[in-house]
């Protein structure tokens, strides 16, 4: 099939564009959304991202004359990715969309909706994975001290903030995982927490004495003053007694980071990177760090070795007389 040139369409990234697709395409997207939600148990954000990417791909296929998934071809997928690059999409975005296409076409073939998988040979540019800045050890300590200074009055919110920052840095858990913790997820005797990560995968993560002390103070002197009828088992509570919102945690981290002289402006995810980097610098092996962080792939954890290597190189260049 000859492929006419394709003009960019406004709203390529708009999920509502699914309404403009042929009925057969819309029906398949509906089935796929259910698959992502019920079988793969992805978050609402991940499902929305998948559907948005695939809506763009199917709209591109429709403009090329495809009105049946059975006629979907590898070159159509390649044409779509090329269009994304021509529209100025980043390598990371294009790589993500290529992955979305491959997973989708594999599902189509596996469920018998197409005779063969057209995306099996679809390649994509390697995404540039750039980690955000991380704190030095002294900066991380200053961050927690800044929170402790604000908690000197023994206020429930102050005690909570110290516990939140200590636990984020001690464990490297994601902000969503932190906010999803229940009181029963904390084992103060063994100094571990039970974390429900991506894909509802459960893991156990240890924490140290400073985080243990902060948690005990929060549970004994802070949480009882904020707990309400609607608090449920939530470990961390907001000012009105509900489960702490991730946005409030991000605001807290940025606010306290601003009080640390010279520290980069990072959020909770930056603290996660900081924890991983300090673990590796302290001699932890990659497999252990992978398990602690809940990474599905060791390749993701290996990114932190670049951070530690860069630091080592800078230290060498500054200190060695023949660097």
Catalytically active residues, by annotation: 174, 198, 269, 272, 295, 304
Tokens (6 digits) for 290: 């992978």
Contacts of 35 (CB under 8 A, 6+ apart): 107
3-state secondary structure the chain: CCCCCCCCCCCCCCHHHHHHCCHHHHHHHHHHHHHHHHHCCCCHHHHHHHHHHHHHHHHHHHHCCCCCHHHCCHHHHHHHHHHHHHCCCCHHHHHHHHHHHHHHHHHHHHCCCCCCCCCCCCCCCCCCCCCCCCCCHHHHHHHHHHHHHHCCCCCHHHHHHHHHHHHHHHHCCCHHHHHCCEHHHEECCCCEEEEECHHHCEEEEECCHHHHHHHHHHHHHHHHHHCCCCCCCECCECCCCCECCHHHHHHHHHHHHCCCCCCCCCCHHHHHHHHHHHHHHCCCCHHHHHHHHCCCCHHHHHHHHHHHHHHHHHHHHHHCCCC
283: left (phi over 0), alpha (psi -120 to 50) or beta: left
The rounded distance, in Å, linking the Cα atoms of 235 and 167 is 12
């Amino acid at each position: 099939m000859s492929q006419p040139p394709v003009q960019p369409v406004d709203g390529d990234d708009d999920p509502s564009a699914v309404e403009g697709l042929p009925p057969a395409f819309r029906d398949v997207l509906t089935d796929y959304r259910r698959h992502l939600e019920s079988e793969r148990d992805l978050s609402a954000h991940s499902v929305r991202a998948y559907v948005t990417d695939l809506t763009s791909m199917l709209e591109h296929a429709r403009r090329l004359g495809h009105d049946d998934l059975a006629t979907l071809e590898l070159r159509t997928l390649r044409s779509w990715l090329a269009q994304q690059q021509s529209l100025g999409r980043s390598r990371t975005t294009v790589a993500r969309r290529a992955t979305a296409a491959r997973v989708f076409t594999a599902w189509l073939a596996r469920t018998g909706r197409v005779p063969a998988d057209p995306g099996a040979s679809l390649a994509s540019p390697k995404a540039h994975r750039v980690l955000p800045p991380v704190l030095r050890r002294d900066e991380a300590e200053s961050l927690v001290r800044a929170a402790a200074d604000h908690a000197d009055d023994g206020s429930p919110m102050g005690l909570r903030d110290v516990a939140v920052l200590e636990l984020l840095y001690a464990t490297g858990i994601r902000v969503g995982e932190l906010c999803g913790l229940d009181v029963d997820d904390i084992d103060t005797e063994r100094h571990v927490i039970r974390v429900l990560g991506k894909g509802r995968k459960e893991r156990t993560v240890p924490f140290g004495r400073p985080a243990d002390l902060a948690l005990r103070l929060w549970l004994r002197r802070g949480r009882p003053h904020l707990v309400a009828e609607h608090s449920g088992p939530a470990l961390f509570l907001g000012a009105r007694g509900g489960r702490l919102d991730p946005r409030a945690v991000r605001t807290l981290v940025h606010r306290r980071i601003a009080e640390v002289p010279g520290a980069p402006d990072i959020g909770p995810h930056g603290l996660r990177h900081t924890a991983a980097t300090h673990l590796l610098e302290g001699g932890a092996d990659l497999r252990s760090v992978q398990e602690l962080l809940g990474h599905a792939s060791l390749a993701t954890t290996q990114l932190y070795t670049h951070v530690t290597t860069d630091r080592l190189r800078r230290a060498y260049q500054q200190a060695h007389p023949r660097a």
